[in-house]
Each structure stands twice: as C-alpha cells, then as structure tokens.
Amino acid sequence: MTAQEELNKATVLRFNREVLENGSIDAINELIAPDFINYTAPPGTPNGPQGIIDFTINMMHKALTGISVKIHDQVIENDKVVTRKTIYGTHIGNFMGVAPSNEQVAINIIDIITVKNGQYTEHWSIRDAQDMINKSTKANNR
C-alpha cells in the first residue's frame, strides 16, 4: 500500500470514529469536501458537508444512541476506499421510515469512498437494515 493509500484509509477510519460514532460536526467540516457528492443519499439531501450533517447528525444520531462501528474489511486502491462495516446502536427514534424498537440493532454497510487531499469527494453505499426493520416490526406489533 502506498503512503497516499494509507492516508486515505486513515481518513475513512477517522470519519467512522469521529463522525459516525461521536457525531462531530467539526470532523464533518474537515473531512467532507465542499463539492462532495453522495450518490446514495435520500432524495432531497444536499451535497457537501450539509448533507452529511443532515443525515448523520440530524437523522441517525437522533434515531440511534450508543452508536459504534465495527470495521470488518477495507480494500484500498488509489483514491478509492471500500469498507465493509456494521453500525450498532439502540433504535430510539424513527430512522429512514422505520419506527423505533428500543432495541440494539445492526446495520450492515458496504461503502465506496473517493478520497482526495484528505477529504471525501464521492460516496456510494449499499445498506442492509433488515435487523432494524425486523426488530421494529416485532416491537410495534405487540
């Protein structure tokens, strides 16, 4: 792995720790390029740092508490970092249309990130939220 690829990997790890786990708006503003494009954001989500703030801080952190991220695998090639991870948290609020279960949930994700000059410039993602959906359905049909 080249020195630049190591830096790109470190940028993605920092995003997962400081933004996803800790909800740091300062880290979002440092790590997300002004012209960042999120190709898998919900409709109407703005690009750039504000889109990450809207989704991560204003939606995810209000719906999940005690968030932790487990990185299972990372593949780095040039400016692309692919990460297979699981986000864990207690589901206390509506998240992406799923009613809260008040239970620990797991969301499995594969992200592809383009990193340039230490910042995210592009993002694609595949999310599997079936665990959250199943627990919500069970909790809300009692």
Task: Please report, for the chain, the start and end positions of each structural domain, with discontinuous segments joined by +.
Answer: 3-140
Number of H helices, E strands in the chain: 5, 5
Q: Which residue type sits at 2?
A: T
pLDDT at 97: 81
SS3 at position 77:
strand
Per-residue pLDDT band for 37 (boundaries 50, 70, 90) equals: very high
**Residues whose CB is less than 8 angstroms from the CB of residue 141 and which lie 6 or more positions away in sequence, other chains included:** none
Task: Tell me the whole-structure pTM to 2 decimals.
Answer: 0.89
Percentage of residues of the chain with pLDDT beyond 70? 92
Q: How far apart are CA 6 and CA 76, in angstroms?
A: 8
Task: Look at residue 90 and tell me whether its pLDDT is greater than 80.
Answer: yes
Q: Which fold has domain 3-140?
A: Nuclear Transport Factor 2; Chain: A, (3.10.450)
pLDDT at 7: 97
Task: Look at residue 72 and tell me whether its pLDDT is greater than 90.
Answer: yes
Helix (H) or strand (E) holding 95: none
Burial of 44 (0-12, 13-18, 19+ CB in 10 A): exposed
Q: How far apart are CA 86 and CA 64, in angstroms?
A: 13
Mean pLDDT, range 86-105, rounded to an integer:
88
Model pLDDT for residues 112-127, shown as the tens digit of each residue: 999 999 999 999 999 8
Q: Which residue type sits at 121?
A: T
